[in-house]
Amino acid sequence: MQSVAFWRDQVGLILVRETPGFAFFDGGTVQLVLNVVPPNMLIATLTEIVFEVDDVMARYEALRDRGVPFEVEPRPVMEENGRRLVATHFRDSDGNLASITSWVTTPS
C-alpha cells in the first residue's frame, strides 16, 4: 500500500501496526485503518476521511510543507450559527480523499 508511507511520513500519523493487507494508525480520538481491496471487489468512490483541527490554516501550511498535495486552498464551505466551516482537501498516494476542517467565528 503506497498510502502507508503517505499517512505516516507526510501527514504524521503514528503507524501502530501493519499486517498483510492492513495498516493501523493512531489518529488521536479515532483509528485510521487502511486495507487492500482485491481488484475484483467493487469499492465506493465517494468515501472521504475528514479531520477537524483547531486551526485549518496552520495545519494546511504544516502539511503542505511536508509535501501533502492539496487540491485547493482552505476556503469557507458553509456558515451556521455565527460560525464558518473552513476546509481543504487532498488525496493520498492511493487516491483516497481526505479533508481538514475547522470552525471559525464569523466576525460581527
Can you give the residue range of the structural domain that contains 73? 3-105
How does pLDDT run across 58-107, given as a tens digit for each residue?
999 999 999 999 999 999 998 888 999 999 999 999 888 899 999 999 87
Cβ-proximal residues to 54 (8 Å cutoff; 6+ apart), any chain:
102
Residue 85: its pLDDT value, please?
93
How does pLDDT run across 5-61, given as a tens digit for each residue?
999 999 999 999 998 888 999 988 888 888 877 777 666 556 788 899 999 999 999
| pTM reported for the whole predicted model | 0.75
Half-sphere CA count of 65, side-chain side, radius 13 A: 6
Cβ-proximal residues to 39 (8 Å cutoff; 6+ apart), any chain:
none
Residue type, 12: G
Kindly state the helix (H) or strand (E) to which residue 60 belongs, with its residue range. Answer: helix 56-65
CATH number, domain of 28, equals: 3.10.180.10
Q: Look at the chain and report how many structural domains it folds into.
A: 1
